[in-house]
C-alpha cells in the first residue's frame, strides 16, 4: 500500500539530493578554481553556500514535522533520523568548500611553488566518496556505502603525504611558508570532506539495515 507518507519521504530524499548536489558543485568549483588558478568561480561558491544554508534549515524543519505528525516507526524512523544527520554533514561539506575557496583566494595572490599533483588526486577521491555516499543513500545500497568507508584510509595517506612534502618546501625556503600553509589546509579540508562522506555512508547503512557501525562499537 502506497502511503501519503511515502510521498513525503520521497520529497525528503529529493531535498537531500538537491542539497547534496549543491554541496558537490561547491567542492568542485572551489578545487577547480585552485587547480586552474581561475578566480572567477569563487563567487559562485559563496553564492551556493547561501542556498545550502537555507536548505539546511528547511530540511531539519521538514524532518521535525514528519517526526511530530507521522510518528514514524522502524525503517521510516531510521530514514528520518539518518536524514537529519546527513543534512548536517551536507552543510559541513559546503563549509569545507568555502574554506577551500578562501584559501584559494590567498593562494592566487602568490605564484605557485609547485605543480599540484596530490591535492587534485585527493579531491577526486573525496568527491567520488561524497557522490557515492549520496548514491548509496538514494539507492539504499549498503554495499556501495561500505565501499565508501574503505576509501577513507587512502585520503588520510594522501593528506599525510601532502603535509610531509610541503614541510620539506617550508624547511628549505621560508618564503614558501604562507603558500605551503594554505595548501596544507586545503588538503585538510579535503580530508574532512571525505570524513563527512564516511559519516553519510555510515548513516546509510544504519538506515537500510538498522546496524550502527560507527566507531566500530557494537552497541545492541
Partner 1 sequence: MAKKLIIEHLNAWFGNVQALKDINLDIEENGVTAVIGPSGCGKTTFVRCLNRIHEVVDNAKVNGSVLLDGENIYSNTMDPVLVRRRIGMVFQKPNPFPSMSIFENVAAGIRLNGSKKKNEIADRVEKSIKMSALWDEVKDKLYKSATALSGGQQQRLCIARTIAIEPEVILMDEPASALDPISTARIEELIQQIKERYTIVIVTHNMQQAARVSDYTGFFLLGELIEFNKTSDIFTNPKDKKTEDYITGRFG
Considering only residues 48 through 77, tell me which ones interact with partner 1, judged by CB under 8 A: 71-77
Among 5, 36, 117, 160, binds partner 1 (CB under 8 A): 5
- Nearer to partner 1 by Cβ, of 5 and 21: the residue is 5
213 touching partner 1, by CB under 8 A: no
40 touching partner 1, by CB under 8 A: no
CB of residue 69 vs partner 1: minimum separation in angstroms? 13
14 touching partner 1, by CB under 8 A: no
217 touching partner 1, by CB under 8 A: no
- Nearer to partner 1 by Cβ, of 18 and 78: the residue is 78
Give the residue among 28, 152, 159, 138 at the shortest CA–CA distance from 86.
Answer: 138
Which positions touch partner 1 (CB under 8 A)? 1, 3, 5, 71-78, 210
Amino acid at each position: 500500500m502506497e502511503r501519503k507518507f511515502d510521498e513525503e519521504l520521497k520529497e525528503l530524499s529529493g531535498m537531500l539530493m538537491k542539497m547534496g548536489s549543491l554541496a558537490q558543485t561547491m567542492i568542485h568549483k572551489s578545487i577547480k578554481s585552485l587547480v586552474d588558478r581561475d578566480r572567477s568561480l569563487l563567487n559562485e561558491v559563496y553564492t551556493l553556500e547561501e542556498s545550502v544554508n537555507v536548505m539546511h534549515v528547511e530540511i531539519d524543519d521538514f524532518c521535525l514535522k514528519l517526526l511530530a505528525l507521522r510518528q514514524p516507526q522502524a525503517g521510516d524512523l531510521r530514514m528520518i533520523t539518518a536524514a537529519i544527520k546527513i543534512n548536517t554533514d551536507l552543510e559541513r561539506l559546503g563549509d569545507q568548500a568555502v574554506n577551500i575557496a578562501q584559501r584559494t583566494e590567498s593562494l592566487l595572490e602568490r605564484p605557485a611553488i609547485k605543480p599540484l599533483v596530490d591535492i587534485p588526486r585527493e579531491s577526486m577521491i573525496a568527491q567520488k566518496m561524497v557522490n557515492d555516499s549520496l548514491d548509496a543513500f538514494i539507492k539504499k545500497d549498503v554495499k556501495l556505502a561500505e565501499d565508501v568507508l574503505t576509501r577513507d584510509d587512502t585520503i588520510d595517506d594522501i593528506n599525510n603525504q601532502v603535509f610531509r612534502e610541503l614541510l620539506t618546501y617550508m624547511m628549505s625556503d621560508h618564503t614558501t611558508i604562507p603558500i605551503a600553509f594554505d595548501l596544507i589546509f586545503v588538503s585538510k579540508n579535503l580530508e574532512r570532506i571525505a570524513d563527512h562522506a564516511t559519516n553519510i555512508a555510515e548513516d546509510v547503512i544504519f538506515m537500510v539495515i538498522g546496524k550502527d557501525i560507527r566507531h566500530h562499537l557494537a552497541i545492541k
